[in-house]
Chain A
């Protein structure tokens, strides 16, 4: 990978990369939501994507998980170790979506439809506004996540209709796997309750459990701590640490709660106005003057100067572009 920033010696996430976003640009009509963004997500790391509201974080997520087709750029997902640069360059030239290399496959996510990204590239995600199947039980939610292996086990429904032993076994295993994740997220007692009946914090954890049931290599969490109380936030931290350690799943998360970000992240990428303004460890980012100015706002005269140049009336006291300036100070 090219040295993205003028940063210090190569970091671990530049050497053992699971996902690399390269020169990603996303335009909606005239609006440039993400502009020439490049960053790496290290294998086994917890990477946080932070930035003020409207910085383009969720847009990046939607590009990575295939819900948006990026205007420009390349998004590479690697299942095998190492950078595999030659393989990726060769694949890019062929026009194919991924190569068939057994366990060492690489995927060009910007070419793949959203459901294939989850199915083949093994990138799972959660949503900013929870998207559970409210009328289905917690257990059913986790079974839906195991749809593809179960479809194969039911020989595309034919074997399932006749309840063949192969399908019965796969079904029992799927329920066990779901129960395992319900146990881990502390929801096992609510397994047979409809998801819409669960309290908010439980719903957030259930969504993570559901994403984990797709057996992902990379888990993308869009504001997992939003709306959680401090105790629930701590539980979430422990859950994410557990997922990373015991399942080797890399985590990419968007978060506003700086407590969560600073505590668990190995690597923090800061966006503002669709551009990367900082990239490094939590400690490095915290002390980066650009980050501080993005979060706390710039000097009032500078705002006035910009507004003047745009021929706008000067509004005083509106020099804070971010809504969680208090978070930046932690």
Chain B
């Protein structure tokens, strides 16, 4: 086989075929996907997604087969593309990307309302979901990306935060804003309690035990029927108020500000709450990275024995990483509870931990912006699957794209791992600079235990 003879041929060929498919997608959009007919009073626009999709698939498949069996080249034409992009351009994009994304995030609800007035609620809800995962990803990034501790049970802290708020509200009628810091604190305490015995372990053992702890929390929530409601969950969790104003039809936010009542207000408010929570997570993480504690986390990821020889108490350092990560998970959990209004142990399965970890790994360990990109692609991607009704034209009426989401997930992961084994954004920014700031390539950065 030629593929076996030339390592990298498969990867290069897939890359090349993907580029070809993308070109067809862009060009073909206007030729295949849109069709204009002269109708009454102007042009009628009809969409032909099926045709467009088939064209892309043919281009991808054909190009792949040609590359593999006809060209048999180890360097397809696009092989030179990644090299030809000058380093300066990439770092320029990197510099601009953060502020641009921030600007989009800040104005997103209004953009959505202006562009999709009839589906704004759905899109803002999706944005809230993505932002929740961004926050969770950033929280887990402290543990996995910076301190290098593979935590497969991060969802436990998400659950602790959610249940803390739900139970406080149920038994003590405590509102969201009072419960939020308490939930964060409780999750951090749980992080320390779970972390203390667990963090003596290393690598794979640590991963397995954190996974087990995640499951224990879920099973306790499921079985402690008298206290947590077990599988019935907890419903009627209060919504957050805006400085004492509820988002109700009468006497609430809209009336106070003289607006017409619209349920979208509450969605926009929730969006801004999670945006601010996520930005706080990001800000604190970025600050901590430049402080001795953050540097000690990264040093721990690089070499634990050397850390101990320099007088760093590694147990305490790991515990701080674990508990601060847990705290942000708890804050996100308590937001999740108030957004849903109903929580049950079903929301906190291992799959959630896996998705959050996948976001961190795909985004690039330790990279903040990578987490954002990965969350948008992964969570947004699942949602896009729900809107691919046109595929029924191709595969028949029984075809349900969302059923394939795990398959697509897996394929996407394999592709990214082939293309960029260290995640989308993999270079590291030094935390202190003497003269000149230089990015550190991912080949040199250790990934910590259990990778």
A166: Cβ under 8 A from any B Cβ: no
B438–A196 CB distance below 8 A: no
A210: Cβ under 8 A from any B Cβ: yes
Most buried by B among A116, A137, A214: A137
B293: Cβ under 8 A from any A Cβ: yes
Q: For the complex, what is the distance from the CA of A143 to the CA of B432, rounded to whole Å?
A: 9
A133 closest partner in B (C-beta) = B302
Contact of B288 among A144, A161, A210 (CB under 8 A): A161
Q: For the complex, what is the distance from the CA of A119 to the CA of B316, rounded to whole Å?
A: 14
B interface, CB within 8 angstroms of A: 284, 287-288, 291-293, 295-296, 298-299, 302-303, 305-314, 320, 428, 430-438, 440-441, 444-446
Contact of B314 among A115, A139, A154 (CB under 8 A): A115
A114–B309 CB distance below 8 A: yes
A192–B288 CB distance below 8 A: no
Q: A142-200: which have CB < 8 Å to B?
A: 143-148, 150-151, 154, 157, 160-161, 163, 175, 178-179, 182, 188, 191-194, 196-197
Q: For the complex, what is the distance from the CA of A127 to the CA of B309, rounded to whole Å?
A: 10
For the complex of A and B, list the 9 residue pairs with the smallest distance between their C-beta atoms, beginning with the closest.
Answer: A135-B445, A119-B311, A118-B311, A133-B302, A191-B434, A150-B292, A131-B306, A196-B444, A160-B291
Contact of B306 among A132, A148, A196 (CB under 8 A): A132
B309–A151 CB distance below 8 A: no
21 contacts between A and B (CB under 8 A): A67-B309, A114-B309, A115-B313, A115-B314, A118-B311, A132-B302, A133-B306, A134-B446, A137-B432, A143-B295, A144-B296, A144-B310, A144-B312, A146-B292, A147-B310, A179-B434, A194-B440, A194-B444, A196-B444, A211-B309, A211-B310
B313–A144 CB distance below 8 A: no
Most buried by B among A115, A127, A132, A210: A115
B441 contacts across to A, CB distance below 8 A: 194
Q: A32-50: which have CB < 8 Å to B?
A: none
A60: Cβ under 8 A from any B Cβ: no
A256: Cβ under 8 A from any B Cβ: no
A139–B444 CB distance below 8 A: no
A125: Cβ under 8 A from any B Cβ: yes
B438–A124 CB distance below 8 A: no
A135–B295 CB distance below 8 A: no
A65: Cβ under 8 A from any B Cβ: yes
Most buried by A among B299, B308, B311: B311
B309–A125 CB distance below 8 A: yes
Q: For the complex, what is the distance from the CA of A154 to the CA of B244, rounded to whole Å?
A: 37
A144 contacts across to B, CB distance below 8 A: 295-296, 299, 307, 310, 312
B296 contacts across to A, CB distance below 8 A: 144, 147
Beyond A133-B306, A160-B287, A175-B432, 9 additional contacts (C-beta under 8 Å) are A133-B299, A135-B445, A140-B295, A148-B311, A154-B293, A157-B291, A160-B292, A210-B310, A214-B310
A191 contacts across to B, CB distance below 8 A: 434-435
Nearest chain A CB to B442's CB is how many angstroms away?
8
B292 contacts across to A, CB distance below 8 A: 143, 146-147, 150-151, 154, 157, 160
A151 closest partner in B (C-beta) = B292
Q: For the complex, what is the distance from the CA of A135 to the CA of B307, rounded to whole Å?
A: 14
Nearest chain A CB to B434's CB is how many angstroms away?
4
B435 contacts across to A, CB distance below 8 A: 191-192
A134–B444 CB distance below 8 A: yes
B428–A135 CB distance below 8 A: yes
Q: For the complex, what is the distance from the CA of A117 to the CA of B295, rounded to whole Å?
A: 21
Given A132-B303, A135-B428, A160-B291, residue A147 in contact with residue B284 (CB < 8 A): no
Q: For the complex, what is the distance from the CA of A157 to the CA of B284, rounded to whole Å?
A: 11
Q: For the complex, what is the distance from the CA of A244 to the CA of B405, rounded to whole Å?
A: 65
Nearest chain B CB to A139's CB is how many angstroms away?
5
B303–A118 CB distance below 8 A: no
B305–A67 CB distance below 8 A: yes
B430 contacts across to A, CB distance below 8 A: 136-137, 139-140, 192
A147–B312 CB distance below 8 A: yes
B436 closest partner in A (C-beta) = A192
Contact of B438 among A127, A147, A193 (CB under 8 A): A193
A114 contacts across to B, CB distance below 8 A: 308-309
A179 contacts across to B, CB distance below 8 A: 434
Given A147-B296, A154-B291, residue A139 in contact with residue B432 (CB < 8 A): yes
B432 contacts across to A, CB distance below 8 A: 137, 139-140, 143, 175
A161–B431 CB distance below 8 A: no
Q: A93-144: which have CB < 8 Å to B?
A: 114-119, 124-125, 127, 131-137, 139-140, 143-144
Nearest chain B CB to A166's CB is how many angstroms away?
13
B299 contacts across to A, CB distance below 8 A: 133, 136, 144, 147
B295–A147 CB distance below 8 A: yes
Nearest chain A CB to B327's CB is how many angstroms away?
13
Nearest chain B CB to A189's CB is how many angstroms away?
9
A146 closest partner in B (C-beta) = B292
A188 closest partner in B (C-beta) = B434
B309–A192 CB distance below 8 A: no
B438–A157 CB distance below 8 A: no
A127 contacts across to B, CB distance below 8 A: 305-306, 309
Q: For the complex, what is the distance from the CA of A196 to the CA of B436, rounded to whole Å?
A: 18
B307 contacts across to A, CB distance below 8 A: 115, 144
Q: For the complex, what is the distance from the CA of A188 to the CA of B436, rounded to whole Å?
A: 12
B434–A175 CB distance below 8 A: yes
Nearest chain B CB to A38's CB is how many angstroms away?
24
Q: For the complex, what is the distance from the CA of A193 to the CA of B435, rounded to whole Å?
A: 11
A119 contacts across to B, CB distance below 8 A: 311, 313
B441 closest partner in A (C-beta) = A194
Nearest chain B CB to A140's CB is how many angstroms away?
6
A136–B434 CB distance below 8 A: no
Q: For the complex, what is the distance from the CA of A136 to the CA of B444, rounded to whole Å?
A: 8
B446 contacts across to A, CB distance below 8 A: 134-135
Nearest chain B CB to A324's CB is how many angstroms away?
26
A210 closest partner in B (C-beta) = B310
B291–A115 CB distance below 8 A: no
Nearest chain A CB to B367's CB is how many angstroms away?
13
Given A115-B313, A194-B444, residue A133 in contact with residue B434 (CB < 8 A): no
Given A194-B440, A196-B444, residue A136 in contact with residue B310 (CB < 8 A): no
A213 closest partner in B (C-beta) = B310
B304 closest partner in A (C-beta) = A131
B320 closest partner in A (C-beta) = A157
B437 contacts across to A, CB distance below 8 A: 192
Q: For the complex, what is the distance from the CA of A193 to the CA of B433, rounded to whole Å?
A: 10
Nearest chain B CB to A67's CB is how many angstroms away?
7
A145 contacts across to B, CB distance below 8 A: 310
Nearest chain B CB to A292's CB is how many angstroms away?
35
Nearest chain A CB to B298's CB is how many angstroms away?
6
Q: For the complex, what is the distance from the CA of A117 to the CA of B446, rounded to whole Å?
A: 26
Nearest chain B CB to A213's CB is how many angstroms away?
8
A67 contacts across to B, CB distance below 8 A: 305, 308-309
Most buried by A among B288, B293, B306, B435: B306
A118–B444 CB distance below 8 A: no
Nearest chain B CB to A301's CB is how many angstroms away?
44
